[in-house]
Structures are given as structure tokens and as C-alpha cells.
Structure 1
Amino acid sequence: MLRLRRMLIIALATFGTCYLALCIAVFALQRSLLYPAPKGTPPLSTIKDFSRLPLSGGLYVDLFYLPAFPGAPTVVHFHGNGEEVLTQVGLGSLMEERGLGFLAVEYPGYGASPGKPTEEGIYEAAEAALRWLREQGVTVQQTVLSGRSLGTGVAVEMARRGHGARVMLVSPYTSIPDIGASAFPYLPVGLLARDRYDTASKAASVTLPVLIIHGEEDDLIPVAMGRKLGTLFPHAVVETVAGAGHNDVLEDLAKVYKHRMASFALGEP
């Protein structure tokens, strides 16, 4: 009996030690998992339509900017965690074809921009870019905030801070801890998460018109999260895309939804 009890205590202690080590590893590595930042992009500031926006501490982020036709809105877009500002040219060109302006904001530590990505650091870059846009003569009423995947949390925070008149969210999530909990249900993700992007808790305070587009076959951010957010924002429309997953919801399979975004940004039905 004593031997069995000793073996049980050793087994529990071993399990507890391994579990604690796993929690520590997840806490330490979570930002590398959350921000798989593309690297190796050449300097962009010498390329047409790209510029460099200074930030505090000697940092900077790259901007891709296409001015709007006179009187038309400008879409300010925040990309997903595996993208970079250079990959937003196609979306910007489509918006430009519809007469809209387009501003894509890089994240610290992404592409050619120095630093390390964090929630607060990305918010700082986003807000600095929006202040820069005001200096170009684009008003809050002419600003449409847009985000994809990770960037939806940035767009919602900027809306909460009063920086736009409409919001477009592609493949949004309720919060990063919610996503982590679905991927690691055996870990206390809510306690471990350093960057939270808690869109669900902010939604009620965002009274702007909101368009949500979500692929029905999304295996990274469940479509149920997009539908739930549609019930939390006071003025939201949810459009799900049959057959689309996470990465192709705006691509060839469903490119019509890029035009849907442009129509929404222009205030069309």
C-alpha cells in the first residue's frame, strides 16, 4: 500500500511538473505563435505609394497609401498575422478602382519594420497612422476601418477610440484567449494570454455600422465567432461565404466579397 501511494505521489508530481513546464513554455513562446511575422521584405519607402511612418523610440512602420477620389471615403486596413503590408496592394488597387482611398498599416516587427509585435505596439502604430491620415485631410467621417483575422481586433479597438465611421471585419474572432482555449482546451489560456484583443467585450460600445464576412469552412477562427460578434455589435450585418476557409475568403473562391467591402465602404446597400 505504501509503495502504491509513493508511486501515485511520484506520478502526480511528475505530471504537475510537466504541466507547469508546458504552461511556462506557452507563456514564453506565445508571441512567436501569435505573430509569425514575415521577414526579409526590402525597404519599401522608395517604392511608389509606400512611405515610412516614425513611431516612438526610434521605430517606424511602413504605410501603403492610395488617396481617395475627392469626397470619397478611405479604407484603413489592418492585415492578418501571417501577412504584411506588401501583400495588401491587390486589395488596395480594387478599392482604388471603386474610387475609394486605401491605407494599409504595417505592424512593428513585420516586413521591413523594426521592433517586436505586441498588442499595445500595434495599437500605437495604428493610431499614429490614423493621425497621419488626418494630416492628409481625411476626416473621421471619411474613414472606414477594416481588418482581417488578427487585424479585426485592431480595427475594433480603433473604432472604440473614435477613429472611423464604418467598420469591416473579415474572419473576426471574439478574443485571442477564446481562440487559444479552443486550440489548447487543457491549458489556462485565459491566465496565460499576454495579448488579448478582446473584441467581444468591446463590441457593445462600437455603435457604428459593421460588416462581418466569414468563411463557413474556416478551421482557424470558427464561423461561430463571426456570428456571435454579429449579435454583440449594435449595428452589424453578418455575411458567411459557403465553401470558403480562413485564407481564401477574399481570394478567387469569393473575390466578389472584395467588391462587397467596397460597396459597404461607399455606403451603398
Structure 2
Amino acid sequence: MPRPRRILMLLLSLSGIAYLGLCLAAFVFQRSLLYPAPKAPMPLPASEGFRRLPLTGESFVDLLHLPGPPGAPTVVHFHGNAEQLLDQLDLGAVMNQSGLGFMAVEYPGYGASPGQPTEQGLYEAAEAALAVLRAQGVAPELTVLSGRSLGTGVAVEMARRGHGARIMLVSPYTSIPDVAGKLFPFLPASLLVRDHFDSSAKAPDIRLPVLIIHGEEDTLIPVEMGRRLGTRFPRATVETVPGAGHNDVLERSGQERVLRMAAFALTGGQVPGRASPKE
């Protein structure tokens, strides 16, 4: 074999090995990217509505519960991947002041909760929180599921399992493989991703009213993904926020968008039969 050809074959072999190594690293370390898991001091103050929620075995997560007036709906919120339970106090306060109950559950490995986050682990924590709500007499028709970013996949799965009467999704994705494919187009995301949170596949079977809020300048989860997910639900409306990105979509307009969510949670809002790009 001529020397230049041998060199070319060697370079191709090394490139292939490097690419396989990159794929292996992405597979092994993907959960540290998907779940940054901020930490909080232990224990969280019970005086502010926090309590410990037992899971299977000796594991537990923390729960934030701000009860509403008798007969009022309760918003059950699942936060984003770079947030933690302590960050939900302001949202909970606005919902509470609007006449709603508010509940948020921590993810395993986040905040002051032990363990390692996984898709099934997040679902287990969500189910446990909803069971607490049922035990306190809050009926499914008075439960509003809410999620932001990562948490939208948890809210959609809980709706698929029959929980809740309405859903609110802030900066939602179609699926984690879709997001990974956009961020890392050079990797076979569909083969490597372990936690799928495939909201797009679940949406057609969920006939609840859905409110989607998405920033038009979101560079992490593009607004087109939120719009596309909106078309998958039978009863959804999509409201986009001009100038807002991924992390400021609710904050950019002061309390306007949060109050919009509160109104939807209280009354169901005006939800057309199909998704629309703007209100």
C-alpha cells in the first residue's frame, strides 16, 4: 500500500475512534448535562410550606405546599433542570395570592433531596406528590398540572396517566432526543439519549385544555418546537413572548405571564380547538 494511502487510512481510523469515544462520553455523562441539579441547605424550613415526602425504600424528596382556599384549584408545578424547589417560592406566592393552591415537588438529587435524577425517578416523585394532594381531598378536576422546561415532560406524563384537568407548559420541548439533536447535530442523539420525555408522542391522546407559553428568542428550546408541540395536543393554545429567551419568558413582562397562568388555572381561559402562534 502506498505511504499516502496508509496515512489516510490511519487518519480515518483515528477519526473513527475519536468519534466513537465522543459518543461514549455523551452516553456516559449525558445525565450530568440534562440534570445540573442545584443544591440547597438541609433541611428546608417547614414554616414556609416545605415538608419531606417519602418515596420507595428510604429515599425521599422535598415538597412545597401552599394550600389554597377550600374548593379552589391547586397548581402542581414541575420546575426546570437548572432550578430547585427553593426557586419556586415566588411563583407559589403569586398563585396563592390569586386564590389558588400551589404544590411543587423536588427531583431526586436536586436541592436538599438525595439520590440521582432519572426520567422514572422524576415521575415517581410527581406521582407521590399528586397522591398527597388526593389524600388531602383535592380532586383531579381541581388539579392543574404545570411545568417549565424540563418539567413540562413530567407534567405531560402525569396528564397521560390521568391526573389533572388542565395543563400549563412554559418553554416546552417535543422530546429530549429532539433537543439533543438540535444542540449536538453531529451525534446520533436518538440512539444515545436515555431519558426521552417524549411529550410529542403522548400529546395526541391528552384531551385536556393546554396553555403553552414560549419565548420567541429561546435559543435552547426554539419557539418552533413549542409551536409544533402545540399542534400535537387536541386542545391547545400557544402564546409566544416577543424578545423573551429561555430563562426570562415568565419574568420579562413582570407578573403578566404568571397572572395569565393563574387565570387559566382558575377558569381554563379561552382555549381554541387548535394551537395558534400568538394570543
- TM-score tier, shorter chain, comes to over 0.9
Q: 2:172 — aligned with what? A: 172
- Contact 1:241–1:254 (8 Å) recurs in 2: no
- The worse-fitting range, judged by mean Cα deviation, of 26-35 and 41-50 is 41-50
- Contact 2:244–2:252 (8 Å) recurs in 1: no
Q: TM-score, normalized by length of structure 1?
A: 0.98
Quick one: distance in 1 between partners of 2:44 and 2:188?
41
Q: 2:74 — aligned with what? A: 74
Q: 1:138 — aligned with what? A: 138
Q: 2:205 — aligned with what? A: 205
Q: 2:182 — aligned with what? A: 182
Deviation at 1:70, TM superposition (A): 1.4
For residues 163-207 of structure 1, give each alpha carbon's deviation from its aligned partner in whole angstroms, at most 9, with x where no partner exists.
110000000000111110011101001100010101110010111
Deviation at 1:48, TM superposition (A): 2.9
Question: What residue identity is the alignment partner of 1:160?
Answer: R
Q: 1:229 — aligned with what? A: 229
Query: In structure 1, the residue corresponding to 2:81 is in which secondary structure?
Result: coil
Quick one: distance in 2 between partners of 1:194 and 1:27?
8
Query: In structure 2, the residue corresponding to 1:127 is in which secondary structure?
Result: helix
For residues 220-268 of structure 1, give each alpha carbon's deviation from its aligned partner in whole angstroms, at most 9, with x where no partner exists.
1000001001110000000000011111111143530000000000114
Quick one: distance in 2 between partners of 1:121 and 1:162?
18
Whether 1:99 and 2:99 are equivalent positions in the alignment is yes
Mind listing any 5+ residue stretches in structure 2 that lack a counterpart?
A: 271-279
Counterparts of 1:213-252 in structure 2, within 5 Å, are 213-252=213-252
Quick one: distance in 1 between partners of 2:84 and 2:203?
26
Runs of 4+, deviation exceeding 4 Å: none
Matched length: 269
Counterparts of 1:7-86 in structure 2, within 5 Å, are 7-44=7-44, 46-86=46-86
Question: What residue identity is the alignment partner of 1:25?
Answer: A
Mind listing any 5+ residue stretches in structure 1 that lack a counterpart?
A: none
Quick one: distance in 2 between partners of 1:10 and 1:157?
48
Quick one: distance in 1 between partners of 2:109 and 2:17?
34
Query: In structure 1, the residue corresponding to 2:46 is in which secondary structure?
Result: coil
Query: In structure 2, the residue corresponding to 1:99 is in which secondary structure?
Result: coil
Query: In structure 2, the residue corresponding to 1:88 is in which secondary structure?
Result: helix
Question: What residue identity is the alignment partner of 2:76?
Answer: V
Deviation at 1:42, TM superposition (A): 2.6
For residues 60-89 of structure 1, give each alpha carbon's deviation from its aligned partner in whole angstroms, at most 9, with x where no partner exists.
111110112111100000000000011101
- Contact 1:45–1:62 (8 Å) recurs in 2: no
Q: 2:113 — aligned with what? A: 113
Question: What residue identity is the alignment partner of 2:5?
Answer: R
Quick one: distance in 1 between partners of 2:185 and 2:252?
34
Deviation at 1:47, TM superposition (A): 3.4
- Contact 2:78–2:105 (8 Å) recurs in 1: yes
Quick one: distance in 1 between partners of 2:243 and 2:70?
38
CA-atom RMSD in angstroms: 1.1
- Contact 1:64–1:105 (8 Å) recurs in 2: yes
Q: 2:5 — aligned with what? A: 5
Q: In the superposition, relative to structure 1, how do residues 231 and 254 fare at CA in structure 2: closer, same or farther (>3 Å)?
A: farther
Deviation at 1:7, TM superposition (A): 1.1
